Amino acid sequence: MLATIAVFDIVKDDLHRVETRLHDIPLRSEADFELVTEAIGHVLDAGGKRIRPALTLLTGRLYPSDPKKIISLAAAVEMLHTATLVHDDVVDGALLRRGSPTLNARWSPGATILTGDYMFARAADLAAQTGHVRVMQIFARSLMTIVSGELRQLFGDATFRQTREDYFKRIYAKTASMFELATEAAGVLIDATESEILDLRRFGHDLGIAFQIMDDVLDFSGDASQVGKPVGNDLRQGIVTLPVIDYLDAHPADKRVDDLLHHDYHDDDVVLSIVADVRASGAIDRAIDEARNYVRSSQAALLKLPDNEARQAMLAVADYVVARNY
Amino acid sequence: MLATIAVFDIVKDDLHRVETRLHDIPLRSEADFELVTEAIGHVLDAGGKRIRPALTLLTGRLYPSDPKKIISLAAAVEMLHTATLVHDDVVDGALLRRGSPTLNARWSPGATILTGDYMFARAADLAAQTGHVRVMQIFARSLMTIVSGELRQLFGDATFRQTREDYFKRIYAKTASMFELATEAAGVLIDATESEILDLRRFGHDLGIAFQIMDDVLDFSGDASQVGKPVGNDLRQGIVTLPVIDYLDAHPADKRVDDLLHHDYHDDDVVLSIVADVRASGAIDRAIDEARNYVRSSQAALLKLPDNEARQAMLAVADYVVARNY
C-alpha cells in the first residue's frame, strides 16, 4: 500500500503503522459517513512520499522513546499537512494535484471545506495523543504560520515583483514550518535537551527550505508525466519562484513576468518562452546550488546529536532531497 | 465594548479579559494582515452573549484555580465557536448572521476559509496555553463532533423526514458539544474529581440542548428585527426543528413540509402558513417545556458541586436560557 523510499528503510515498519493510524478515521464506524471516510482515504492515498512523518519517526530514533507517541505525532503531522492541501485546493480552485483529481474537483466547496476541517480536528486529536502539551503548542503555532502564509499570498499584491525575502518568507510558511514541526516536536518527545531541540528545529527548517526550492525547480525542468502538472505551472498561477527571481535580477528590463502577473489571461507561448529563458540563464543550477547549501546547513545542525543509525538516515534523507531526479 | 447579561455579573471582569485575549490576534503586529485582523475582530464583535466562555469562567470559580488558564480556555472556546460559524457561513452561502453581513458576504470563499482556519489554529493555541493535555484532547474531540454533525447534515438525505432522534443528534453536535467542552474542560482545570467532571459535562450537555431548542423556537416566534432573521428561516433552508417534528407527529398527512424539502424553490406563503399552523398546534409550548426539562436536568447535575456563588450563578444561567424574551 505504501512504497517507501530507501532512505526511510529503518523506519519502514513504523511508516506502515503511521499509514494505518492515518486511515483509522473515527467516523469510519458510522454508516452515515461512508463518503467522507472514503474521500479522506483517497486524499491520503494521493499523498506523496511521507517525508514529514518519516522525519518524525527518524528523529524519534535518535534517543530511546515511546514508539506509540512518535507514531501518533507522525500521523498528526501528515494529517495536518494533508488537511492544509485540501483547503488549499478549494482556495485555488485546483482540480488536479499530483495528477489526481482533487476533492474539490469532485465535490462542492462546502463538503471539501468540512472534510478539511474534520482532518484538522483529527490531526489535533492525534497530536493530543502524544500526551505532551508542548507538542500541542508547537502544533498550533505551526498551523498559524502555515495559514498566515496562505493569507499573505491571498491578500498580497499579486502584481508586485517579489523579492528573494518575500520568497523565503513564503516557502518558510508553506513548507519549512511543517518540516520544523515534524522534527522539533519529535525532539520534545524524545526528551532531547533544549539545545538539541533547537538543532532539530533548524534541521527541519533548512531541509524544508531546500525541499521547497527543489520542488519549485521541478516546475521548470520536470515533464508533466513525471510531476503530474505541466511545466511553468507556478508562473501560470502567478507564483514567482526562486529561478524567476534570480533570472529577473539579471534581466531587470524583461517585463514579460510583470505582464503575466497583471493579467488573468496568459498566452501559454509567453509562459513557455519565459521558462526557456529562465532555463537558459543558469538560474536553475543556481537555485539547486542554493538548495544544496540549505541541505548542508541542515546536516550541520545534527552534528551534536548522537551518531547513530537514525542520524545517518537523517543525513541521507537530506542528501536525497537534492538528489531527486530532475 | 461588551454588554454582559446580569447572570454573568460575578465573572464580568474576567469576561472583559477574555474579550481582550480574543482580540489579541498574533497577526496583528504585521502590517500585511490588517484586513485579516480587522475581519476577525469584526466577526468576534458580531458574536453573541458569550454564554460559552461565561460558563467556562463560572465553572472556573467552583474551586480555586489559576485564572489565567481559565481565561485562556474561555477564549479558546469562543474562538473555536466563532471559527465554526465562519466556515458554516461559507458552506451555507449565508450572507447575514444576527443581522450583520457575514465575512462570506464581503470576501471570496478562499479568504473566508483561510480566516476560519487561522481562527481554528489560534483556538488550539489558546487551548494549549492552559498547559493541560487533557483539555487539548477534549478540545480536539469536540471539534471532530461539531464537524461530523455538519458533514452529516450536508451528506444526509435532505428530503427525508427527520425523526426526533435525528434532531437531538444534530443539536448535540451543533451546540451541546461546545457547551460540554466549556464546562468539562474547565472541570479539568479546577482539578475537580472524575465524577464532578462528568457532572459538569452533563450540565454543559443538557444546557446546550435546552439552549438550541430555545434558539429553534425563536425561529417560529421571534420577529426579524429582534433576531436578525425572518421567521421560518430554518424551514426555508430545509432545516427541520423540534416544533415541526412535533407538529408532523400530530399531522402525519400534511405533506407541505416534505414538499418544501424536495424543492429548491420555496413559495414564501407556504413557509409562513406552515409556521402559523405549527404555532397554532401548541408545538412551540411543548418544545419550550422540553427545553425546561433539560434545564432542570442540567441544574440537577450540579447538586454535588460546592454550593457557592459560582454554582448559584450557573443555576441562574440555566434559568436564563429558558426565560429569554420570546
Name the nearest CA neighbour of B1 among B9, B10, B18.
B18
> In a 3-state reduction of DSSP, which class is residue B172?
helix
Number of folded domains that form chain B: 1
A113 contacts on B by Cβ (under 8 Å): 87, 90-91, 113
Identify whether the C-beta of residue B118 lies closer than 8 Å to the C-beta of residue B27: yes
Enter the pTM of the model: 0.92
- The single-letter code of the amino acid at B169 is K
Q: What is the pLDDT of residue A22?
A: 95
Confidence of residue A326 (pLDDT cuts 50, 70, 90): very low
What is the distance in angstroms between the Cα of B107 and the nearest Cα belonging to chain A? 11
Confidence of residue A184 (pLDDT cuts 50, 70, 90): very high
Q: Which three cell numbers stand for residue A231?
A: 511545466
Question: What number of C-beta contacts closer than 8 Å exist between A and B?
Answer: 144
Q: Does B261 touch chain A (CB under 8 A)?
A: no
Mutate: best of B85, B145, B148, B170, partner A, most A CBs <10 A: B148
Dist CA B280 CA A216 (whole Å): 66
Dist CA A238 CA A261 (whole Å): 6
The least confident of A9-13, A65-69, A224-228, B67-71 is: A224-228
DSSP A198-218: HHHHHHHHHHHHHHHHHHHHH
**Chain B nearest-CA residue for A90:** B110
Query: Is A1 a member of any domain?
Result: no
Residues A84-98, mean pLDDT to the nearest whole number:
83
How confident is the prediction for chain A on average, in pLDDT? 89
Quick one: CA torsion of B243, B244, B249, B251, rounded to 10 degrees?
120
What is the distance in angstroms between the Cα of A299 and the nearest Cα belonging to chain B? 30
B121 contacts on A by Cβ (under 8 Å): 140, 143-144, 147
Q: pLDDT tens for residues A120-134?
A: 999 999 999 999 999
pLDDT surpassing 50 at residue A223: yes
Confidence of residue A302 (pLDDT cuts 50, 70, 90): very high
- Residue B292: count other Cβ atoms within 10 Å of its Cβ: 18
B152 contacts on A by Cβ (under 8 Å): 32-33
| Long-range contacts from B43-50, C-beta under 8 angstroms, 24+ separation | B43/B82, B43/B85, B43/B86, B43/B103, B43/B115, B43/B119, B44/B78, B44/B82, B46/B97, B46/B98, B46/B100, B47/B78, B47/B82, B48/B98, B49/B4, B49/B5, B50/B2, B50/B4, B50/B8, B50/B15, B50/B18, B50/B19, B50/B78
What is the distance in angstroms between the Cα of A131 and the nearest Cα belonging to chain B? 6
B115 contacts on A by Cβ (under 8 Å): 151
Q: Does B90 touch chain A (CB under 8 A)?
A: yes
Query: Is B1 a member of any domain?
Result: no
B132 contacts on A by Cβ (under 8 Å): 133
What ipTM, to 2 d.p.? 0.90
What is the distance in angstroms between the Cα of B117 and the nearest Cα belonging to chain A? 7
Mutate: best of A120, A130, A150, A169, partner B, most B CBs <10 A: A120
Facing residue for A91 by CB, picked from B114, B140, B154? B114
Identify whether the C-beta of residue A192 lies closer than 8 Å to the C-beta of residue A200: yes
Query: Is B200 a member of any domain?
Result: yes
Domain that holds residue A179: 6-323
Strands (E), A3-147: 96-97, 100-101
B84 contacts on A by Cβ (under 8 Å): 117
Facing residue for A144 by CB, picked from B121, B143, B152? B121
Q: What is the pLDDT of residue B238?
A: 85
Cell 513525471 maps to which residue? A226
Residue B106, C-beta contacts closer than 8 angstroms, at least 6 positions apart: B39
Q: What is the pLDDT of residue B315?
A: 97
Q: What share of chain B is helix, strand, coil (3-state, %, to 5)?
A: 75, 0, 25
8 Å CB contact of A154 and B91: no
**Dihedrals φ, ψ of B97, to 5°?**
-140, 125
B143 contacts on A by Cβ (under 8 Å): 117, 120-121, 124
Dist CA A256 CA A260 (whole Å): 6
B137 contacts on A by Cβ (under 8 Å): 125, 128-129
Residues A76-101, mean pLDDT to the nearest whole number:
86
8 Å CB contact of A33 and B147: no
Q: What is the pLDDT of residue A228?
A: 55
B92 contacts on A by Cβ (under 8 Å): 110
Half-sphere exposure of A24 (CA within 13 A, CB side): 11
Q: Which residues pair with B101 in a beta bridge?
A: B96
pLDDT surpassing 90 at residue A231: no
Half-sphere exposure of B288 (CA within 13 A, CB side): 18
8 Å CB contact of B33 and A148: yes
Q: What is the pLDDT of residue A198?
A: 98
The CATH number given to whatever domain includes residue B241 is: 1.10.600.10
Dist CA B199 CA B190 (whole Å): 14
Q: Which three cell numbers stand for residue A161?
A: 515583483
pLDDT surpassing 80 at residue A55: yes
Burial profile A136-173: b = 16 or more Cβ within 10 angstroms, e = fewer: bbbbbbbbbbbbbbbbbbbbeeeeeebeeebbebbbbb
What is the distance in angstroms between the Cα of B41 and the nearest Cα belonging to chain A? 16
Identify whether the C-beta of residue A50 lies closer than 8 Å to the C-beta of residue A77: no
8 Å CB contact of B155 and A129: no
pLDDT surpassing 80 at residue A244: yes
8 Å CB contact of A118 and B147: yes
Cell 460559524 maps to which residue? B85
Name the nearest CA neighbour of A285 among A228, A239, A246, A256.
A246
Enumerate residue ranges in chain B where pLDDT < 70.
1-4, 157-161, 222-229, 264-265, 324-326
Q: Does A106 touch chain B (CB under 8 A)?
A: no
Facing residue for A109 by CB, picked from B109, B128, B136? B109
Query: Is B184 a member of any domain?
Result: yes
